Chains A and B, each alone.
Chain A
């Protein structure tokens, strides 16, 4: 049975339909990139699988049941804009948060949790900065820390919203190596990305969406002009020699009114 299944799902926010007729099977151990233009519904797809929003129609199954039924087996990493980086927590505290749902309200973190946190920080190469406030790190380092939080949970399904957006190439390579290792170890990894080259090179499978799935196949389709034309429509420029240019600067989808977003230099909405 696939770890993640969607059957003819429609979903959206308020009155706005963001995704329709989405059908998808993601087997255990997959390394999947979700690509598509702004507003295509990439984040919505991840939120559906994470159980953060409910489908309007159709069915979502995660590890065989409705999303949320096995929530401790799911690690979700939001987009950087969803996090208040001025928050007074240190790197190790952020990673330890991944352990909180496993502990329950009355138990304090113990030696198992410290070991899991240490191990996760080691894997992402952030041990030396463990006592830094999270906002004192660079963008790439912050992504590493959030990946460490996912690793520390020992979850089966990793859902990452833009894990390699707007970070330096070295960190991008490291993060993709780590995600590849997690998938090789049997975890199911689904990540949204704006970076088509990265999707093509570093993932096994690419799902291109634009309100619905327009293509789903081996990662090479991320650079297929016909697929991109369907996913990106008018934002695509065709250049000589089969090269394509995608005019799609990163910006997250319009959020629901009650969500708080944080951008560098100040608070937004």
Chain B
């Protein structure tokens, strides 16, 4: 049993993957908590798909996929907000337009490539076990930078998320925070592409905070639990994919989904434990 855990650690590539999924797990859970609270899950999905043309363009030009993905994802994220405000549209309408348009551009560029496209396929479905030392360094720097910014602005982001009008009236730059946050979501997605791929990255953002929401009603604990669930699922998922020799991204996401289902059916707020530990979400009589 111990061997199953220790043996993979002898491989450099496994150690790199482990560090990558832990970093991705932490940054996705922290940023994802705000994504869930802001109701932006759909935007997360859209931004990840919007990164695709950037990845393909970087491939065609022989540049780093991080840079291509970051440019495409961040600019689409900011454009979503801008067009929503400018056109006075519902945000899901804007997202529907931009997301499909950007992904179509990616497929268009993709279809111009003649020959082997295995690396690009890895970006779609994720293959963390193929991560290079250079990619890992970029990943760690981007993830750490994102975490530092959220660490500095967590209060402001929390207030602006809970009560944007009250926060804006008291002097917080809510509009600016909104743009900054979307840029952070885009960077988080870029960081996660190698691990889980474009198609599944939204799960990294949404599933651990959603599971944590079933377990607590305090913001601080919510973030802590989301990080714990995210990192644990990522590590377990990575091991499972290694042992079973299956896709790492999908295995990680399935592990997170399992954690969510456990929280749903067993957790203290909604699950079978609810009857015992209850009284917390029942309105208090005057």
Contact = CB atoms under 8 A, between A and B. Distances in A.
Interface in A230-260: 256-258, 260
Contacts of B152: 105-106
B170 A98 contact: yes
Contacts of A171: 286
Nearest to B222: A88
Contacts of B163: 78, 82-83, 97
Question: What DSSP secondary structure best describes chain A's contact surface?
Answer: mixed
B281 A258 contact: no
Given A88-B218, A258-B90, A105 B156 contact: yes
B218 A72 contact: no
Contact of A89 (B91, B167, B219): B219
Contacts of A266: none
Interface residues of B, number: 38
A72 B281 contact: no
B88 A89 contact: no
Given A133-B280, A267-B39, A90 B90 contact: no
A138 B170 contact: no
Contacts of A88: 37, 213, 216-219, 222
Interface in B139-192: 152-153, 155-156, 158-159, 161-163, 165-172
Nearest to B217: A133
B115 interface: no
Given A140-B286, A153-B170, 16 more contacts: A51-B169, A68-B171, A72-B171, A75-B169, A76-B165, A76-B166, A78-B166, A88-B213, A89-B158, A89-B217, A105-B152, A133-B281, A138-B283, A171-B286, A256-B88, A258-B91
Interface of A: 14, 47, 50-52, 68, 71-72, 74-78, 82-84, 87-90, 93-94, 97-98, 100-101, 103, 105-106, 108, 129, 132-133, 135-138, 140-141, 146, 149, 153, 155, 159, 168, 170-171, 256-258, 260, 267, 269
5 contacts: A50-B165, A77-B166, A89-B162, A136-B284, A149-B166
